[in-house]
Structure 1
């Protein structure tokens, strides 16, 4: 045999063998380590998001060392692809992997993390396919890749596994399962290398906090962003929008910003980004008049450029090979495309007072988005562009407001890892109330925000139930782009809707503080019960499953224990939404005394209760010693420098404390130190009575408090 051919054959065979990479863990932040397998691609999620870790927040977390088992994480490179294997223990549960709508527990699933419009199945194709997961053991794993990742989340058992499942006879053994136990998470990355990050706890909440802080801290919206928003029908005129705002004020419903849907543009699908001259003949004057009413304007758009847009010709060389709805797709990985889009939005929208954007259709559905064979001038693949396009539009628009020292808050249809600090909330066209709540719960694991928006309803009951939920979410919104609904569209429940809209405004000091904790400390404002101390998932096991042997089937075991219809809202509140047709529901209370939010009455301790709240109430409970700062009911959020009267509510018998956050509510001056935390304390005096105090505002720091009154709800 020719020696050269023999050597060539041997080399080819060697190249085909898997190369086991030795992962060397390097500390990058306290409790965070980075490992490298193969040669990672330069284009990554963290690179696109441009995040800067929130370093101060790490100082307030427990000190931890690299877990001993980190050396058991294995990486291989073969055929230009990278595989990762992270060990699992038998009783371990997994959470996260992005915005899932139907399940909280993810162990036993196979996921293809792929940015897409949600299609009704939790298979990884979702608006935020974040490659980060949290373990019940108190660690997290993040894969910094902008590729479509395949995740075997505790499925696929190796023959040499130290804890391999035992073969069983299906004919005679009733414990046989179709999903055998697997002791690892395996991830396939279609690239010749990848960065992997390990986040230590010690508790799962600490893991989530470290991840959020590593990605820049959570978003701190302007105060008005936490008020109430209404999105108008798609072809509304300036006059109709003003009439709607007048109706809100006349009927006594709060309103901080209105969203204009596609009809504000001269052409949409694809977009010109230019005002329609008939519906909005004088946009600057229109926006100024709305601002005089205390109402801001948010604009719907998608980034696909119409041939009739003024930037079409300039953008053409910096767009992809394929179109979306016959519009060109800006290659935002190029400086030129970002600059052209920024200039258009700044000159024609932001300069005349537009407060923010709703950026639609950056998620997918293969039949309209660019295909994976598309090419882009930057050289970035169509796959990578799809995984990061939501990040690009958020980053590009957020930078516009940041350079003006002006905060914004808007909507976006896609996001990914690293987008934690961007001022956007996710939404979609799916409309299951129950699944919207599950998505809200899961959002807390993945560094994104989600709104269970209200659109239309078949009955007053459904309308009120949806509205009650949205009040306890990141964005209190009615999206009437198609239905034209208003808060008062169902007269039989209009007063109850108004009560909850006003409650949203009253609770603004609490919501604003909780978002500040998200920003400074990485604590998600809305999160799963699994992150709450004292929560016992065994309480959720259904009676019919309690006596089954599920040890060899972690997936089935998990879904019988998960709680996906109640969640924590801020430090002290447990929210348990009601759905249409429900008169009663179960509420699982973590260990510790809990009290009814509305009455202050004792509810239970570490038990499952059955409640019948009536149509007028969404069940909400407060931890013992909980402190909820509230303000007077009003139609608009406080402006910068405006003072409000606080009513501080205390629940239960225990002493308590709460740190109330304050800044101007509109600018980024807090990054320069223009903010303060005020200590609220409730202590029991010698006579047995509770007394509350609030620390003084720091000299030279923002102070939005005019007066303070106390309400001891459980006395």
Structure 2
């Protein structure tokens, strides 16, 4: 590029040439060259670059746009791809027309355009709470507390979208990326929309059809990844496996957790654990809120000697009750902390709640945190963390004018801070071969293998379920936690949802509520929590599938094979104030989802006595009764208050254990009941390991095939499984087969 895109240099050069012309009358060629140079310099700020695609892993292509920055989403996540698992997915070709992918570098920014067919739906683009199909939306992907609108500012603004056509696109840049997901219409569009007259044509729409996804990256470069399917599920699998595979929690992490009030002491917490025993309510780990710090907001990361005079003894007492402790913290260092003088030179220019913001891109910063946390927490038995306030709001976290000693910009730091804290803390537990499971407020691309579930302060039950649906597209986990309710009905409905999510959590930090706070529904709440415990073999195997195959444990219906629902467009009603352009609305399926391969979950909400459920292809059966409910259709159900609607796919196999208060411990041998639904043959891969360590990564795990087939007279029967030898298997040899569907 002549002038390198620098217009000031071009102008100075032109002035020199003009001076020469005035002093040399016979130098007409210089005038011509001056004009040519000026024209070229006017366009030199725009560079058209061809993307060179390299197949990095099977079905995954990478190209560099411009000059990618050192700090990126994937570089800070630091995941190692699951190469063997990726190799098992179907072979495929590049899923898009390369000639239709456009890149321009303008004013040190990246402009990208990807083709978009008329019938395509787009999923992903962050942890959204109200919409599933993101086509037709403009998203500014910016780490933030969710503010009530799906505009890209959210806890996990992952710049990854999945097409219903079976491909995905990831932009690996730690910047505030703007995505026009089929909104802008170019004058030179390959497939321009039909022009209608609003005065006379009923087909007129305020948002004409757009044939492109356009993306603005405010950086000199970024790495672009294309994922092939051929199905949307396989796109998601490739994405997760490239990022290390999904996280496999310890068994206790899939039990029930209670987060206690902020200023509870160690004695208060032990009494809380005893109360769960008295009510025979499941409990596997307890969340300890800010009061454990000697000072918080900002934090010291040191035990308060008044409330916790004997931290080690406290953790040992919990362990004797079969419980793990999860400690709350935000990463902003108090001037009262012993870490403060060491971290101060390694911190940013601004504070958060008067605490310094550590620069975790620096290895010496991470080393200081590791030394402190290992000595004062992990080595005495702490089981995990809840990482707060790494998301926003803007007026709480550091501003975009902040600077950091590493030279990382405030914008980049905002986009990767949650990832860095997850990666750092997770590595501490891995160093001592101990699995953990915790909570975090911010995440981003590359985080599939982190031991954290996202949560927030928002509290819409319906939107929580939509977030759970959307989490499956972007490689994160989300919990629709329970905090409070206005009625017993709302309480039991919320508890049912949370028990069918990645983390069954009651967050009582503010008001001290208990699962039995509404006595009239205590039994119903206990039953659904106990059902989760019974389903642990199924749920744990589903998380193993997340790790080894990349399939999310809780899945949007749009990822399910045979889900043929096409979202209808509901015409907008003209309203001079509320809807002056009569904007239409597309209907999403956002209130139901799959747990693993076989169980469809359709939560109920307070004030509703019935609801619609959309069933994919094949026959589906009621989980509780085994009765046929429908096949590839919409059904209407009216469930009782004490039951969350659950449906099982034909041939579905559900392994279960007897009701128990806590997840299985190492050495436990449990009876196994295997349920079969429908009339089709089926199989299930039952997974097991020690439930606490990373030894499974070295081969210390087992997969046992549970199968049902028809015998010589056409009757269904369970096949005798080949039990593993020399591998972990925590179940009795005798299996109880239960055929839920009565066949003639």
Q: TM-score of the superposition, structure 2-length normalised?
A: 0.93
* Aligned pairs (5 A) from 1:303-314: 303-314=331-342
Structure 1 position 541, deviation (Å): 3.8
Matched, 1:617 2:643: yes
Where 2:666 maps in the other structure, the secondary structure is coil
* Counterpart for residue 630 of structure 2: 604
Where 1:34 maps in the other structure, the secondary structure is strand
* Aligned equivalents of 1:543, 1:180: Cα separation in 2: 15
Structure 1 position 67, deviation (Å): 2.7
Q: Which structure is larger by alpha-carbon Rg, 1 or 2?
A: 2
Structure 1 position 172, deviation (Å): 2.3
Structure 1 position 70, deviation (Å): 2.7
Matched, 1:189 2:217: yes
Q: Deviations over 1:490-546 (max 9, x none)?
A: 0000001000111111000001000000000000011111111111223x6488899
* Aligned equivalents of 1:2, 1:490: Cα separation in 2: 82
Where 1:638 maps in the other structure, the secondary structure is coil
**634-643 or 153-162, which moves further after superposition?**
634-643
Matched, 1:686 2:697: no
* Aligned equivalents of 1:378, 1:213: Cα separation in 2: 30
* Aligned equivalents of 1:390, 1:130: Cα separation in 2: 12
Structure 1 position 14, deviation (Å): 3.8
Judging changes above 3 Å, is the alpha-carbon distance between structure 1 residues 556 and 526 closer, same or farther for their aligned structure 2 residues? Answer: farther
Q: Which of these residues, 82, 93, 109, is aligned with residue 121 of structure 2? A: 93
* Counterpart for residue 300 of structure 1: 328
* Aligned pairs (5 A) from 1:2-81: 2=15, 4=17, 6=34, 9=38, 12-16=41-45, 18-67=46-95, 69-81=97-109
* Counterpart for residue 526 of structure 1: 554
* Counterpart for residue 564 of structure 1: 590
* Counterpart for residue 456 of structure 2: 428
* Aligned pairs (5 A) from 1:355-504: 355-504=383-532
Contact persistence 1:453–1:477 (CA under 8 A): yes
* Counterpart for residue 26 of structure 2: none
Gaps of 5+ in 2: 1-13, 19-33, 574-581
Structure 1 position 2, deviation (Å): 4.8
* Aligned equivalents of 1:302, 1:4: Cα separation in 2: 60
* Counterpart for residue 650 of structure 1: 676
Structure 1 position 167, deviation (Å): 2.4
Contact persistence 1:586–1:611 (CA under 8 A): yes
* Aligned equivalents of 2:568, 2:169: Cα separation in 1: 28
* Aligned equivalents of 1:144, 1:311: Cα separation in 2: 33
* Aligned pairs (5 A) from 1:215-234: 215-234=243-262
Matched, 1:667 2:667: no
Where 1:290 maps in the other structure, the secondary structure is helix
Structure 1 position 708, deviation (Å): 1.7
Structure 1 position 175, deviation (Å): 2.1
Contact persistence 1:678–1:694 (CA under 8 A): no
* Aligned equivalents of 1:227, 1:323: Cα separation in 2: 37
* Aligned equivalents of 1:634, 1:556: Cα separation in 2: 52
Contact persistence 1:443–1:450 (CA under 8 A): yes
Q: Which portions of structure 1, spanning 4 or more consecutive aligned residues, are displaced by more than 6 angstroms?
A: 542-546
* Aligned equivalents of 2:272, 2:16: Cα separation in 1: 84
**416-425 or 634-643, which moves further after superposition?**
634-643
Matched, 1:628 2:654: yes
* Counterpart for residue 725 of structure 2: 699
Q: Deviations over 1:147-182 (max 9, x none)?
A: 000000001100000111122222222322221111
Contact persistence 2:138–2:151 (CA under 8 A): yes
* Aligned equivalents of 1:431, 1:693: Cα separation in 2: 46
Where 1:496 maps in the other structure, the secondary structure is helix
Q: Deviations over 1:622-655 (max 9, x none)?
A: 0000000011111111112322111111001111
Contact persistence 1:229–1:258 (CA under 8 A): yes
* Counterpart for residue 301 of structure 2: 273
Where 1:466 maps in the other structure, the secondary structure is helix
* Counterpart for residue 580 of structure 1: 606
Matched, 1:710 2:737: yes
Gaps of 5+ in 1: 547-554
- What is the CA RMSD across the aligned residues, in angstroms? 1.6
Structure 1 position 695, deviation (Å): 2.3
* Aligned equivalents of 1:674, 1:337: Cα separation in 2: 34
Matched, 1:158 2:158: no
**332-341 or 428-437, which moves further after superposition?**
332-341
Where 2:275 maps in the other structure, the secondary structure is helix
Matched, 1:118 2:146: yes
* Aligned equivalents of 1:2, 1:465: Cα separation in 2: 75
* Counterpart for residue 10 of structure 2: none
Contact persistence 2:206–2:583 (CA under 8 A): no
Contact persistence 1:23–1:71 (CA under 8 A): no
Structure 1 position 441, deviation (Å): 0.1
Structure 1 position 690, deviation (Å): 1.2
* Aligned equivalents of 1:66, 1:202: Cα separation in 2: 10
Judging changes above 3 Å, is the alpha-carbon distance between structure 1 residues 254 and 68 closer, same or farther for their aligned structure 2 residues? Answer: closer
Q: Deviations over 1:261-306 (max 9, x none)?
A: 1111111110000111111111110110010000110000000000
Q: Which of these residues, 340, 362, 371, is aligned with residue 343 of structure 1? A: 371
Contact persistence 2:572–2:583 (CA under 8 A): no
Q: Deviations over 1:207-227 (max 9, x none)?
A: 010101011100100011000
Contact persistence 1:514–1:525 (CA under 8 A): yes
Where 2:719 maps in the other structure, the secondary structure is strand
* Aligned equivalents of 1:709, 1:693: Cα separation in 2: 11
* Aligned equivalents of 2:185, 2:517: Cα separation in 1: 55
* Counterpart for residue 593 of structure 1: 619
* Aligned equivalents of 2:381, 2:39: Cα separation in 1: 68
* Aligned equivalents of 1:4, 1:12: Cα separation in 2: 14
* Counterpart for residue 24 of structure 2: none
Q: Deviations over 1:294-350 (max 9, x none)?
A: 011000000000000010010000000000000000000001111111112111111
Structure 1 position 701, deviation (Å): 1.0
* Aligned pairs (5 A) from 1:249-260: 249-260=277-288
